[in-house]
Structure 1
Amino acid sequence: MTTEIAPVKVIGNGPERIIAVAGWMGDHHLFDPFLPLVDPARYSFALLDARGYGSRKNSDGPFTIEQIAADIISCADGLGWSKFHVIGHSMAGMSAQRLLVDVPDRIASAILLAPVPASGARIDEQRRQLLLAAIQDPEARKRLINANTGGMRLDEWLAKLRDTSLAGTRPEVLEAYMSSWTGPGFANEITPVQVPVRVIVGEKDPGAVPQRLRETIGTWFPDFDLQILPGCGHYPMWEEPQTFADALFSKP
C-alpha cells in the first residue's frame, strides 16, 4: 500500500512507524532501490523531503538542520504519529540528533545513516572545494559521488545517481544547507537520553569515519550501536539496498 500525504510518501501501513529523510545530495528518490524491501504489513515508512528538495523543491527556507528537524515533527503530527523511528541520512542525521535534544520522548529510535555529528562536519579545504564545485557543475557532482562511493562504480552508475541528485535539488539550497551542516552545531546541548541510536556507515565512505563517530555520537548517547557495511559508501540504500535493509531491520 502506498499513499500520498503531501509532501510525504508513505509505504505500507504497519505498526512500526518510520520517517526517513535523505541527505545533502538528493531527495527521497535516493531510497528508491531499497523500498521494495520494506515489509508493508510491519512498517509504515514515510519519506520526507527536506525543504527545497524533491516534492518540496519550490518551498521556501530556512534551509537548516534545525528546520529539517522541525519539519520531521510536523510530518509526524500530520500523520498522527505520537512516537516514531527516524532515519536521518548524512546532513539529516544531524537533524535526527537535534530531535534527540528537542523531543526525545517522541523518538522510538534514531538510525543515523552516514551521519554528520551534532558538532558539525569537519572538512579540509580540498574537500570543501569539491563540495562547492558539485553544487553548480554536474561533472564535479559526479566526481564527488565517485569519491563518496570508493571509486569503484561504473560511469553509467555514477551518472544515474548524479542525474537523480540534479533532478531533486537546487544549487542555492545546497549552498545554504552546506553552511548549516558545516557550522558549529549543537553538541553542547546534548544530554544522555534513553533512546536507541544506531549508526550505519559504509566502509568506503570517506566522510563518515567510524572512529570519529564513536568519539562523538558514541560518547553522547549511551544506547549506541555502530554498523559498518561492506562494499558501501555514502549512499548504502542506493548502492547495496539489501545490505542496508539487513542492517536497518536487524536487532542490535
Structure 2
Amino acid sequence: MTSFTLPHELHGDGPHKVFAVHGWFADRSAYAPLLPDLDRTAFTYALVDLRGYGGAKDAVGACTTAEAALDLVELADRLGWERFSVVGHSMGGAVGQRLLTVAPHRLRRLVGVSPVPASGLALPPEQWELFADAAHQPENRRAIIDITTGGRRPAAWLDRMVARSLAVSDQKEFRAWLDSWAREDFHTQVEGSLVPALAVAGALDPALSADLLRRTWMTWYPRAELHELPSAGLPHSRLRSSGGTPIAMDETPLELIRVVEDFLRADGAGEVAGANEGEGA
C-alpha cells in the first residue's frame, strides 16, 4: 500500500461518502460547476487530484488506473471512510472500476460519467497520434475538446479549457495516463461485480456512447443502469469511437447532479455491506 496521499478537498458533511475523480483533461476543478448545487447534507464529497494533476502535479508515480485505485483506498483510510461511493469522469470512470479489483467490499456505488470501459479503448493510428501528441501540443487538446463537445462551444471557452488543462497537468504524466486508460484491459477481473453501477452518457456522444456502454458496462455489471443526457455531446466523424468525451459537468450540470444523486440515494441502509466480498480479487 502506498503512503502517498491524494490532494483533495471536502464538501458537505453527509453520511454517504463519495469520491469525485476527474478525467484526462482536468484536475478536481472539473467539478467546480457542480459545487453550488450538491446535496451537502446527504453526502460528503471528496474531490481528488490524481497523480500528475493539480496538487499532485509533481507527484512521482506510474500514473495508472491501478495505482490510482490504491491511492483512493489509502485516502479513504486516512479520512476514516470504511465504505464509500465513487463518481468518475471519463478516465476517472476507469479508476472507479479498478476499485472493484482492490476493495470491492468497500465500494457502495459506482458512477461513471462518460466512463472509459474497463476494457480500454482501441484507437485507430491517426486518432492515437492525435491523442498522444496532445501531451505537448495545445492545439491537439483544443481539437479534441472542440470535436467532442460538438463544435458548438465559444472559442473563449475552448481556450479556457485548454489553458486549464495545460496549467493543471504534467506533460509527461498526462501522456503516461493515456497508455493506462486506453490500452489496459481488466474487464475480466470486474465482470459479475454486484456493486450497483450507473453509467451516464451523452445521448449524441460518438465516442463513449450509450451503445458502447450497453456492450461493456451493462453486460459486465448485473446491477448496472444507464442514463443518457440529452444535450451532452454531438456526433462528429473524426473521433467516432475514440476516447474523447463530452464534458457533462460544464454542459449539463443540473441534470447530471440530479441523475447521480438520485442513484446514490438509492443505496439504502438495508443493503448488505459485505455483499461484494470475494468478488474481483
1-structure distance, mates of 2:50, 2:120: 18
User: Is the CA contact 2:122–2:182 (under 8 Å) kept in the aligned structure 1?
Assistant: yes
Task: Choose which of 228, 235, 239 in structure 1 pairs with 2:251.
Answer: 239
In the alignment, does 2:29 pair up with 1:35? Answer: no
Task: Tell me: CA distance 1:70–1:188, structure 2 relative to 1, closer, same or farther (3 Å).
Answer: same
Residue 186 of structure 2 aligns with which residue? 186
Residue 54 of structure 1 aligns with which residue? 54
Stretches of structure 1 that go unaligned for 5 or more consecutive residues are: none
Secondary structure in 2 matching 1:199: strand
User: Is the CA contact 2:92–2:115 (under 8 Å) kept in the aligned structure 1?
Assistant: yes
Secondary structure in 2 matching 1:45: strand
Secondary structure in 1 matching 2:35: helix
Residue 83 of structure 2 aligns with which residue? 83
Query: Letter of the aligned partner of 1:30 in structure 2?
Result: A
Give the aligned CA root-mean-square deviation in angstroms. 1.5
User: What CA deviation, in whole Å up to 9, does each residue of 1:20-55 have, x standing for no partner?
Assistant: 110111100111111111122221000111101001
2-structure distance, mates of 1:148, 1:168: 20
Stretches of structure 2 that go unaligned for 5 or more consecutive residues are: 234-245, 267-281
User: Is the CA contact 1:33–1:241 (under 8 Å) kept in the aligned structure 2?
Assistant: yes
User: What CA deviation, in whole Å up to 9, does each residue of 1:4-32 have, x standing for no partner?
Assistant: x9711000111111001101111001111
Residue 138 of structure 2 aligns with which residue? 138
Residue 275 of structure 2 aligns with which residue? none
2-structure distance, mates of 1:66, 1:153: 34
1-structure distance, mates of 2:249, 2:78: 26
Residue 226 of structure 1 aligns with which residue? 226
User: Is the CA contact 1:65–1:94 (under 8 Å) kept in the aligned structure 2?
Assistant: yes
The two structures have a TM-score, normalised by structure 1, of: 0.93
User: Is the CA contact 1:68–1:92 (under 8 Å) kept in the aligned structure 2?
Assistant: no
User: Is the CA contact 1:135–1:171 (under 8 Å) kept in the aligned structure 2?
Assistant: yes
User: What CA deviation, in whole Å up to 9, does each residue of 1:84-125 have, x standing for no partner?
Assistant: 110111112111111112211101100011111111112122
- Return 10-19 or 227-236, whichever deviates more: 227-236
In the alignment, does 2:45 pair up with 1:45? Answer: yes
User: What CA deviation, in whole Å up to 9, does each residue of 1:209-249 have, x standing for no partner?
Assistant: 21121111111110010111122132101222112112212
- Return 24-33 or 161-170, whichever deviates more: 161-170
Task: Tell me: CA distance 1:106–1:238, structure 2 relative to 1, closer, same or farther (3 Å).
Answer: same
- Return 131-140 or 107-116, whichever deviates more: 131-140
Residue 161 of structure 1 aligns with which residue? 161
List, as ranges, runs of 4+ consecutive aligned residues in structure 1 with deviation greater than 6 Å.
none
Residue 94 of structure 1 aligns with which residue? 94
Q: How many residues align?
A: 248
